Copies of this chain bind each other. A is one copy, B any other.
Amino acid sequence: MITLNDVAKKANVSKMTVSRVINHPEQVTDELKRLVFSAMKELNYRPNVAAKALANNRTQIIKLFILEKMDTTEPYYMNLLMGIAQELDKHHYSLQLVTKNAFDIGACDGYIITGFRNTDFEWIQKLEAPLVLFGENSYGVDYVDTDNQLGTALATEHGIQRGYEHLYFIGIDIDERFEFSREAGYVNVMQKYDKVPQIIRFENRSRFAAAYIQENWAEFPKNSLFICSSDRLAIGIEREILRQGGAIPQDFGVIGFDGVFLDQIAAPQLTTVKQTIVEMGATCTNMLLRKIGQQNAKQGFKVFKPELVIRQSTK
């Protein structure tokens, strides 16, 4: 293994100089920097993460908490994870995944928490390392999120522009902010056009949404649009409309939310509010690393604008 010392000898400097070239390059003359860099390249030097961690009183570990009651196998999380993991790798950090099952709590340099709910606030405050939430919150904790309200507003506007007359909102029956925001986006646009909002909520399972359509099929006039709070619900709606013989998208439209994986499984392919989750995961990671570098300084929030991807489930 190549160490700082090896590089230092090769470049005829002290290892302290090499360390400086890496961490405080502005303190070293260009001449030496060049020497050191070429020595590093020649020897293919890789810093020893453990040594660095020890010296800095760090761990180089970030923990990701997935607190949701929801299904952790949702493709959503995998995308988030990819975004986070890739960014961590770049900065020589590694990852520990924590779910409600295993709550060991070894040390770490920071936390990313997703699925945060109000009741979690108390114990989260006790965490000693910097943390960033993935998902909005009203406690002033730094976060990254999608503009949920904008997402459903886009969807609703689009539905109205395309001439759907009856717009229903199919929500997730869960007490979380993202859901309120999505409903609000829908409600606002409905009111703007003097329409009466109609919201129905289910557990996030395609079957429940499908069952609802089946039971109430007679009540849905033609030219209805179902704006859903997840692609998973949208899939159920779509499936049952087809089974009842409804024509998608002419007589009935469906719009999903997420755009991660299920939108591709659906047929006809779903018009959906797409979140760039991988990118958001990366941003979240960067925010956290910056926060670590700045003694836990406040970072504020970053909200991503979702995009309405128009496919075959709306006219």
Contacts and interface: CB of A to CB of B under 8 A. Distances in A.
A297 to B, nearest CB: 22
A71 B261 contact: yes
A128 B232 CA distance: 43
Interface string A181-215: 00000000000000000000000011100100000
A20 interface: no
Contact of A265 (B85, B94, B262): B262
Contacts of A99: 82, 86
Contacts of A104: 89-90
Contact of A206 (B50, B79, B265): B265
A262 to B, nearest CB: 7
Contacts of A43: none
Contact of A88 (B96, B210, B264): B96
Given A89-B97, A89-B104, 15 more contacts: A46-B106, A46-B107, A50-B51, A50-B59, A50-B60, A54-B54, A61-B94, A71-B261, A73-B78, A73-B260, A89-B102, A90-B104, A94-B94, A236-B267, A242-B243
Interface of A: 1, 46, 48-51, 53-54, 57-61, 71-75, 77-79, 81-82, 85-86, 88-90, 92, 94-99, 101-102, 104, 106-107, 205-207, 210, 232, 235-236, 239, 242-243, 260-262, 264-265, 267
